[in-house]
Amino acid sequence: MDALGSRISKKAKEITFTFEGKKVSALEGQSLGAALVGAGHLSQREGRLGGTHGHYCGMGACFECLVSVDGRSGMRACMTPVQQGQTVKRHPYKTPFDIDAQRQSSTRAASLEVVAIDVLVIGGGPAGLQAALSAREAGASVLLIDERTSLGGQYFKQLSSAYSTKDGNAPDKQMQAGRALIKKLEQADVQQWRNTLVWGAFRERFDQMRIGVERNGQALIVEPQAIVIATGATERPYPVPGWTLPGVMTTGGLQTLLRSYRTAPPGPILVAGNGPLNLQVAAELVSAGVEVAGVVESAKLTSLTAFTQTGQATRHSPSLIGAGLGYLLTLKRARVPIFDGYAIAAIKGEIAVESVVLAPVTSEGELGQPTRQLDVKAVGLGYGFQPQAEISRLLGVEHHYAPATASALKVLSAERAADGSCNVEGVFVAGEAGGFGGAQLALAQGALSGITAAKYCGYHTNAPSSSWQARQRQHRRFQQALWGAFASPLKPLAGVTDDTIICRCEGITAKEILSGRDACSDVALIKRQTRAGMGRCQGRYCASTVSMLIATDQKSGSQFDLPAPQNPIKPVAIGALAIEKGEWAGHRRVTPPVTPARHQPIDSRPLIEVDVLVIGAGVAGSSTAMELAKQGVEVAVLDRGLPNGQASGANAGSLHVQLLSFDFGTKAERGGGPAASTLPLQKASASLWEALACELDSDIEFKRSGGIMVAESDAQMRFLERKATLERSLGIDTQIVGRGDIERKLPAITDAVVGGAWCSEEGKINPLLATPALVRAAKQAGARFFTGDGVHKVEHANGRWVVTTISGCRYRANKVVNAAGAWAGEIGKLAGVHVPVHAAPLQMIVTEAAEPIVDVLLAHADRHLTLKQAANGNVIIGGGWPAGLSIPFGYQRPLLESIEGNLWVAQHVLPALNQLRVLRTWAAININIDGAPILGEVEHRPGFYNAVTSNGFTLGPLVGRITADLITRGKSDWDLTPFSLNRFEGQPVT
Alpha-carbon separation of residue 237 from 157, 277, 366, 492, 678 (angstroms):
22, 15, 17, 9, 50
Task: Please state the φ and ψ torsions of residue 369, each to the nearest 5 degrees.
Answer: -65, 135
Q: Looking at the domain covering 237-383, what would its CATH class be?
A: alpha beta
Residues above pLDDT 90, as percent of the chain: 75
Alpha-carbon separation of residue 107 from 572, 579, 793 (angstroms):
18, 9, 55
pLDDT average, residue stretch 390-417: 83
CATH homologous superfamily of 574-594+839-926 equals: D-Amino Acid Oxidase, subunit A, domain 2 (3.30.9.10)
Residue 9 pLDDT more than 90?
no
pLDDT average, residue stretch 806-812: 93
601-702+764-837+929-990 classified as CATH 3.50.50.60: yes
Give the pLDDT band (50/70/90) at residue 205: confident
Residue 951 pLDDT more than 90?
no
Lowest mean pLDDT among 367-376, 422-431, 558-567, 873-882: 558-567
Q: Please state the three-class secondary structure of 173-193 as a single string.
A: HHHHHHHHHHHHHHHCCCEEE
Q: Is 791 helix (H, G, I), strand (E, B) or coil?
A: strand
Please give the Cα distance from 161 to 150 (Å, whole number): 10
Q: Tell me the per-residue pLDDT of 773-804, one tens digit each, with 9 for 90 and over.
A: 999 999 999 999 999 899 999 999 989 999 99
Residue 407 pLDDT more than 80?
no
Q: Is 369 helix (H, G, I), strand (E, B) or coil?
A: coil
Alpha-carbon separation of residue 638 from 80, 289, 475, 641, 803 (angstroms):
51, 64, 51, 9, 10
Q: Higher confidence at residue 872 or residue 951?
A: 872
What is the model's pLDDT at position 167?
A: 80
HSE-up of residue 322 (Cα within 13 Å, Cβ side): 5
pLDDT average, residue stretch 127-150: 97
Give the pLDDT band (50/70/90) at residue 203: very high
Taking CA 623 as the corner, what is the angle to CA 618 and CA 628, rounded to the nearest 5 degrees? Answer: 130
User: According to CATH, where is 3.50.50.60 located in the chain?
Assistant: 113-234+386-463, 237-383, 601-702+764-837+929-990
Q: Tell me the per-residue pLDDT of 326-382, one tens digit each, with 9 for 90 and over.
A: 999 999 999 999 999 999 999 999 999 999 999 999 999 999 999 899 999 999 999
Q: Tell me the per-residue pLDDT of 628-663, one tens digit each, with 9 for 90 and over.
A: 999 999 999 999 988 988 888 888 889 999 999 988
Q: Which of 199, 97, 91 is nearest to 911 (CA)?
A: 97
Asked if the bond preceding 171 is cis, omega within 30° of 0, the reply is no
User: According to CATH, where is 3.10.20.440 located in the chain?
Assistant: 1-104
- Which residues 6+ apart lie within 8 Å of 298 measured at CB? 273, 274, 341, 342, 343, 361, 383, 488, 490
113-234+386-463 classified as CATH 3.50.50.60: yes
Q: Is 874 helix (H, G, I), strand (E, B) or coil?
A: strand
Q: Residue 854 burial by CB count (10 A; 0-12/13-18/19+): exposed, middle or buried?
A: buried
Q: Tell me the per-residue pLDDT of 920-948, one tens digit each, with 9 for 90 and over.
A: 999 988 888 988 999 999 999 999 999 99
| Alpha-carbon torsion angle 916, 917, 920, 922, nearest 10 | 60
Q: Looking at the domain covering 1-104, what would its CATH class be?
A: alpha beta
Q: Please state the three-class secondary structure of 67-122 as a single string.
A: EEECCEEEEEHHHCECCCCCEEEECCCCECCCCCCCCCCCCCCCCCEEEEEEEEEE
What is the model's pLDDT at position 107?
A: 65
Determine contact, residues 327/301, Cβ cutoff 8 Å: no
Determine contact, residues 382/235, Cβ cutoff 8 Å: yes
| Average pLDDT over the chain, rounded to an integer | 92
Residues above pLDDT 70, as percent of the chain: 95
Give the pLDDT band (50/70/90) at residue 554: very low
Please give the Cα distance from 840 to 818 (Å, whole number): 18
**Cα dihedral 785, 786, 787, 790 sign:** negative
What is the model's pLDDT at position 560?
A: 59
Q: Which of 893, 290, 174, 112 is nearest to 568 (CA)?
A: 893
β 427-429/218-229 pair status: parallel
Determine contact, residues 292/285, Cβ cutoff 8 Å: yes
Residue 55 pLDDT more than 60?
yes
User: According to CATH, where is 3.30.9.10 located in the chain?
Assistant: 574-594+839-926
Q: Which of 894, 442, 564, 399 is nearest to 879 (CA)?
A: 894
What is the model's pLDDT at position 605?
A: 61
Q: Count CB-CB contacts under 10 A for residue 889.
A: 17
Lowest mean pLDDT among 147-151, 160-164, 571-575: 160-164
How many residues belong to the chain?
990
